[in-house]
Structure formats: C-alpha cells, structure tokens
Amino acid sequence: MAELDQFRADTRAWLEANCPPEMRQPMKSEDDACWGGRNFRFQSDAQQRWLGVMAERGWTVPDWPTEYGGGGLSPAEAKVLKEELRAIGARPALTSFGISMLGPALLKYGTEEQKKRFLTEIARGEIRWCQGYSEPGAGSDLAGLQTKAEDAGDHWIVNGQKVWTSYADQADWIFCLVRTSTESKHGGISFVLFDMASEGVSAKPILLISGYSPFCETFFDNVKVPKDQLVGELNKGWDVAKYLLGHEREMISGMGLGGGSALLGKSVGPIDDPLLRAEVAAFDVDALAFAAMSEHFLDQLKAGEAHPAMPSMMKYAGTELNKRRHELMMAAGGSDTLEWDSERTRGGKPAREWLRTKANSIEGGTSEIQLGIVAKHILRLPGA
C-alpha cells in the first residue's frame, strides 16, 4: 500500500504540472473530443499538448505493455490514475476505437508484427479506426454477413457493403469482418484490417433524427487487402469478433455513467415539481449503483474473471440508464429543451442528444439481443 500511495502522490503531482487548465473544463460537445488520426485537426494548443504528454508517458493506454506504447501500469495503478484524472476533471487525452475495441483484440490475437505496427500508432493517436461489422442484411444476425474476400494470391479482393459504420468518413483504417468461406456460417468469417484510403473504398454518411450522425454506409469495390493484415486464423475471425464485441459493449455501457459528470440532480438545478424531483433522486441512486457495478465489472474483466455474458448485461443497463438520464433532462428543462437551432441551447443540444440516445438500444447489439444473452447465459432461463 505504501508503494501505491507513493504512486498516487507522484501521479497527482505530475497531472497538476502537465494537464493544461483548458483540459480540465467539461466538454461542451463531441467536437471537443480528441480522436487523433492523420486527418484530425486539434482545436487548441492545449488539446495537442495534453495528448502529447499523456502519449509520451504511455497513459493514453496505461495498462498496455510499454513495448506497444502503453504505460505498463498494474491494474491497481491504472485505477489510481483513473481516479486522479477524475478528481481534477481532466478530459480524455484521446478517444479511440483503437483503444477501446481493436487494441485488446490485437493484444490477444495479433501477430508480434501487427502489434508493433499498429498498437504504438493507436497509443499515440496517430491512427483512427472504424468498425466494419453490421451489414444491411446482417445486423442482429452478425454472422449472416455477405461481404466477401476472395483469395488472389498474396492478397484478397474484398467486395461488399457495411452499414452503421461509425465515423467511417473520418477514419484512417477499418477492422472488418469478411466471408472467406461458405462452408460454415460462423466458421467462414475472417477478421482483416485495411486502409480506408485504399482504392475501391467509399463511405456515405447516414442522417439521424437528431440532425447529426456519426454513422455511414461503407462500400467495398474490388479492394485489395494484403494477406499479412489478417488478424487471427483464416476462417476463425468469429472468435476475434466475439472477443472485440465484449469490449465494445463494455465501452457503450460507459454511457450510463454520463461521461463521469456530476449527479443529475445537481446538474439540472432546482425542480419545483415534487414528483419529478423524486424521479431525479431515484435516478441518481441508480446511477451511483451502476458506477459501483461498473468498477467491479472492470476489475473482473481485467483479471480475466468476468462472465462472458457480463458485457451484454452492462451494455443493456448502461443503455437504459443513459436514455433515462436524457428523458429526465428534457423533462426538467421544460420548453427550453425543445429548441432546435438557438444559440442559447448551443444548437438545440439537449433535444439532439435526447434523440441520439434512441440509437443506444441498437448500436453494439440491440437491447433484445442483450436480454436474450443474459437470459440464456447468466440466468439460465428455460427455453432461452
């Protein structure tokens, strides 16, 4: 404990000296997030400096091995760092699907060459990734995908379409599920990586009811993919896909925490309606319980002790909590929250974010699918 206490003191001093004051202010919108990548434009010198010092120390991915750009911290040290960042209200130095989804999959299934090639770039914010999973005819039934990769000697030729590909129009690379065999539904899927600037790749944004969308339709027309960009074994990409989905659902469940913001009752201010006041208070109790459950789940996940179906349980609970949060914010804000374009509401931010939460029940696996997984694998209900 003495060593951990010293680590906490050193971490607190380092953050005080290196985290710019501008990076201790709450993010006003998603535009304030630092995604990194070759096309990213920093909003300020402070944002660029914050990413630089955190990446140099390996603290964008504190629990990754140092040889891949990580901090090499123990689970206990990583938790201390998280607590100290939260204590000063620090913004994430880097937001990345490479960190939250692809990185863990590469650490488990990637070759040494793939790890050295991609993980350091991810850790330093030099590459931005998108996820090529869902297709127009293969959403909840992900294994029904039809995007094909045909063997052409030293490379594959990929043809097909993905949908709901978040930030595909801004990403540098994609991690993508393709069909390399038709002999088995699950056994004929492979997991490949390729550059979004490759000839034959195109992305088209999909507009949501919120008036904004990170989602895209993505098309592949005779795209060449080198053979060394296969992750895991040929035709066994489903194993990689399932492992990655667990981390994606853990990431989405984090929406239930509201970005680490203050309790809802404090953020919405005084409420005259006693019934609404009681609903907000009940929500805050549930949010605190979810935060405690999330900490326990992450500890189990990092120790390799989490039930394989727990990410589905967390994803469902976090999704419902986030939707409930925004419903209450709309109710507490009254008619002001119905504005759509005013400067006073920052372009209708409350209404647009409320509408955006409706997609939480679909992305990363629908709520119905998650409940089915929980019923079958955790509750072991008959007939599930």
**Which residues fall within 8 angstroms of residue 22, CB to CB, at 6 or more apart?**
44, 46, 47
Here the tokens at position 79 are 């938790």
CATH of domain 2-123: 1.10.540.10
Catalytic site residue from 77, 84, 121, 248: 248
Indicate if the pLDDT at residue 245 is higher than 90.
Answer: no
Domain 239-378 has CATH 1.20.140.10: yes
Pick one of 2.40.110.10, 3.30.9.10, 3.20.20.70, 3.20.19.10 as the CATH number of 129-235: 2.40.110.10
Q: What pLDDT does 371 receive?
A: 93
Spans of all domains in the chain: 2-123, 129-235, 239-378
Better-predicted residue by pLDDT, 28 or 199:
199
What's the pLDDT tens digit per position in 318-352? 999 999 999 999 999 998 899 888 888 888 889 99
Give the C-alpha separation, 66 to 72, whole Å.
Answer: 5
Q: What pLDDT does 30 receive?
A: 80
- Angstrom CA distances, 65 to 51, 71, 256, stand at 19, 6, 29
Q: What pLDDT does 256 receive?
A: 62
What's the pLDDT tens digit per position in 40-84? 999 999 999 999 999 999 999 999 999 999 999 999 999 999 999
Q: What pLDDT does 362 receive?
A: 84
Q: Between 237-253 and 274-302, two packed helices, what is the crossing angle to 10 degrees? A: 140
Of the pLDDT bands very low, low, confident and very high (cuts 50, 70, 90), residue 31 is confident
| pLDDT > 70 in the chain, percent | 97
Around 346, how many Cα atoms within 13 Å sit in the side-chain half-sphere? 10
Q: Which residues pair with 263 in a beta bridge?
A: none
Give the C-alpha separation, 304 to 314, whole Å.
Answer: 16
Do 239-378 and 2-123 fall under one CATH topology? Answer: no
Residue 3 among the catalytic residues: no
